[in-house]
Structure formats: C-alpha cells, structure tokens
Amino acid sequence: PAYIRWPATITPGSTIDQTASHLDWFPTILDIAGIDVRQDVKLRGRSILPLLRAESPEWPEDFFAEYQMPVDRSEGADMRSYQTRRWKLVRYLRNRRVDEFYDRLNDPDERVNLIDSADAEVREAIDQLDAGLTAKMREIAAQ
C-alpha cells in the first residue's frame, strides 16, 4: 500500500486497485519529471502516472515477484511468486520448504495453503500460474 497526495493530479480519496511494485517508482518519477528513458536502458518497472491520473491504461492483472534472503550458509529463502487477482503461487527454489498456493479472494490472509488440493479448479489454476511464473523467469533471464 502507498499513499500519494498530489492535489493537482490525484482526486482526493481515490483508490487504485491495480498492482504496482517498488520497481515502478523510478519510471514514475522520470515520467512525472518529463524525462525520456533511452531505448538501451532497461527498466523493469513501468510508470504508474496514468493510473494516478485516473486514465484507463492497459495494465496487467498478474504480478511476478522474487525474494532472496540467506537464512544460514547452506540454504535460504529463495523464492518466486506469481499472482493474479484471485490466485497466488509461491515456489521455493533452493530450500526444502513446501510451495504455497492461495485463493486471494476467499483467503486474503493466506492462511490455507492449497498446494496439495485435489480440487480440479485449484489444480488448473496452479498449472496456469506455474506456466506464467516460468515464462516470467525466462523473460527476465533473457534481458
């Protein structure tokens, strides 16, 4: 969550439902300042200025995240996450933790891990998010 006050641009009390990340702040600040980024510069974020102005840009509903933290010398939290408005998949890459899968609409506090569910809808969603996660990891590796 973030709060932004910009009376000339943002309608007081407005809310943005689209997902943005800390990677979006730098491109947003450049956009606000009117600074064009050269084509050879790689930025992973995108400007949220159109969202702040209450425009209706094409904005992806899916979100990829990666997190690394050493726990000790042998293993640590090395995970990737892919989520949509409804579902969230977390894959642990280096350690023996159990992967996670949550229904974000019905379990917003992420208390019930559905990764081992036999429900067909859940299994299909896990497969779809796993494909999205793999595609995003390949895209980032290619950059």
> For residue 105, which amino acid is it?
L
**What pLDDT, on the 0 to 100 scale, is given for residue 59?**
84
60-102 tens-digit pLDDT:
888 888 887 766 655 556 789 999 999 999 998 876 678 999 9
Q: What is the Cα–Cα distance from 126 to 130, expressed in whole angstroms?
A: 6
Q: What is the mean pLDDT of the chain?
A: 87
**pLDDT beyond 80 at 118:** yes
Q: How far apart are CA 48 and CA 12, in angstroms?
A: 17
Q: Beta strands of 1-139 (E only): which ranges?
A: 63-70, 76-83, 87-92, 100-103
Q: Which residue has the tokens 């809808």?
A: 121
- State if pTM tops 0.85: no
Q: Give me the half-sphere count of Cα atoms (radius 13 Å) on the Cβ side of residue 21.
A: 13
